[in-house]
Amino acid sequence: MGRLTTELCGITLDNPVIPASGTFGYGYEFAELYDINLLGTFSFKGTTLNPRFGNPTPRIAECPGGMLNAVGLQNPGVDNVIQEELPKLKQIFHKPVMANISGFSVDDYVETAARLDREEQVGWLEINISCPNVHGGGMSFGTDPQQAYEVIHAVRMNTHKPLIAKLSPNVTDIAMIARSCERAGADAISLINTILGMRIDLNRRKPILANQTGGLSGPAVFPVAVRMVYQTAKAVSVPVIGMGGITTAEDVIEMMMAGAVAVEVGAANLTDPYACKTIIEQLPEVMDRYQISSLRDIVGIAGKE
């Protein structure tokens, strides 16, 4: 295995860099700029059982150190993804892809996951119980250990592929939620999703976002993400995927030292479409600088006695 390779739920990745759901679409736009097969994999746009237009506009707001978004899971629905998006994706991406799944009830999650579980190109099911920008679902499942357990357990009973629980940082005890998901049958944990925030338009004297609140992402959340990945990796025995404000190869190494076996890059893709490519290309040089022969050697090293 190469020095950048890592393993995620029994599937080998050429490197640990994974564009996060909602920031990479289905890969087509990025494939016009570079060969996206150099990625470890990517998590495609969050998918729900039925099509969603998303939240009303405006749904993006800039802020120091990042951005707020309240897109609201805009997507064409699982049947369209299977019939239209995955066949096109197969032409440009020749690795297993991560399917990101959201819902508004346990049954929604189960049905959507079961349909994607049957798709050959889907390598992992990332169950998003952490979206802060929808009402009646998403984050409400991921902030209560029992509800998180019920969703993950129900999906586990109806699927076969590796199951990743994507967690919200908007909780008091992230380790408790992670352990609940592990007990329910999650094969891995990914975190963090965005932190709930708000901006106010001084002229209008009203919230900038039509949804009022949105999810904060970008470099500002990186220290929070590192802390929560560190706590989660020490609390569970399944692999952890770290995300939240990653923009550089140094960030990848720091997140892996905290306990992540792989990382997801989100907001950086929206400001620089070459962000993931650049990080991957710079990793060997940064590893040499810190005398790291293999990324596998540093996973969780910051938490070891």
What is the b/e burial string over 215-252, where b = at least 16 CB atoms within 10 angstroms of the residue's CB?
A: bbbbbbbbebbbebbbbbbbbbebbbbbbbbbbbbebb
Cα torsion angle, 93, 98, 100, 106, sign: positive
**Domain annotation covers residue 133:** yes
**Domain annotation covers residue 38:** yes
Q: What is the pTM of this model?
A: 0.95
Q: Out of 9, 63, 131, 276, which one is annotated catalytic?
A: 131
Along the 305 residues of the chain, how does pLDDT read in single tens digits?
799 999 999 999 999 999 999 999 999 999 999 999 999 999 999 999 999 988 899 999 999 999 999 988 899 999 999 999 999 999 999 999 999 999 988 999 999 999 999 999 999 999 999 755 444 455 567 788 999 999 999 999 999 999 999 999 999 999 999 999 999 999 999 999 999 999 999 999 999 999 999 999 999 999 999 999 999 999 999 999 999 999 999 999 999 999 999 999 999 999 999 999 999 999 999 999 999 999 999 999 999 87
DSSP for residue 58: P
Domain residue limits at 79: 6-53+75-196+217-303
Q: Assign residue 184 the CATH number of its domain.
A: 3.20.20.70
pLDDT, position 140: 61
**Domain annotation covers residue 210:** no
Q: How many domains does the chain have?
A: 1
**Domain annotation covers residue 37:** yes
**Are 73 and 14 contacting, i.e. CB atoms less than 8 angstroms apart?**
no
**Domain annotation covers residue 34:** yes
**Domain annotation covers residue 62:** no
* Nearest one of 147, 155, 152, 179 to 165, comparing CA atoms: 152
**Domain annotation covers residue 212:** no
**Domain annotation covers residue 48:** yes
DSSP for residue 37: G
181 flagged as catalytic:
no
